[in-house]
Amino acid sequence: MRLTLVLAFSMTACAFGQATVKESLAKHWKTSATFTEAVAKAMPAESYSFRPTPEEMSFGQLMTHIAVANVGACALAGGLPRPTAPEKIAAWLKDQKSEVEKDTAVAFLADSFAFCLKAVDAAGPDKLDKVVGPAARAMTGFEWFWSYFTHTAHHRGQAEVYLRMKGIKPPEYQF
């Protein structure tokens, strides 16, 4: 009986054009990629070292932080090997007090989103439901995708404040 109800609900959802969890993840990661890259490109290159206070990451560091986190989370969630970081990003990872120039940050950010979309595509129900990650932070693949989608949104909002502090109107919100 329960299986019949589940199957009936699944067929009804498909009949009404409801997206699968995987399709929804892909849709929202694509939107996040476009919007986050627009925010990254809005800051002039000469302001990539801007930080509102000494304790904050610079704008370039913030964009790089988003990208590094994306790659790590999406590798875990999708069960894919982490791509090798470009030379300038690898250097930043060794010394996170150093600055990251605009071209390097924007390119790595775009690559991180492309990797995440590849990871979403590779994630079937088995990977979305599988618990992965370090013991203290073990989550399902779905939770990794969703929590780092949220992580990106958090830091993108922070980046928009940086833009406004420099007198730059951020790109229009995309959903």
Q: Which domain does 114 fall in, by range?
A: 20-165
Residue 171 lies in a domain: no
Q: What's the pLDDT score for residue 48?
A: 98
- Could you tell me the two tokens for 125? 């129900």
Q: What's the pLDDT score for residue 10?
A: 52
- Could you tell me the two tokens for 45? 């290159």
CA distance 35 to 31: 6
Q: What is the CATH number of the domain that holds 133?
A: 1.20.120.450
For the entire predicted model, the pTM comes to 0.88
3-state helix, strand, coil in the chain (%, to 5): 70, 0, 30
Residue 46 lies in a domain: yes
Q: pLDDT tens across 69-128, in order? A: 999 999 999 999 999 999 999 999 999 999 999 999 999 999 999 999 999 999 999 999
CA 49 to chain centre: 21
Q: Would the pLDDT of 2 be above 70?
A: no
Residue 109 lies in a domain: yes
| Residue 11: Cβ within 10 Å count | 10
Residue 1 lies in a domain: no
Residue 71 lies in a domain: yes
Name the domain count of the chain: 1
Q: Would the pLDDT of 56 be above 80?
A: yes
Answer for the pair 145, 42: CB distance below 8 angstroms, yes or no: no
Q: Would the pLDDT of 9 be above 50?
A: no
CA distance 77 to 126: 10
- Could you tell me the two tokens for 139? 């989550």
Q: What's the pLDDT score for residue 126?
A: 94
Q: Is the model more confident about 53 or about 3?
A: 53
Number of helices (H), then strands (E), belonging to the chain: the values are 7, 2
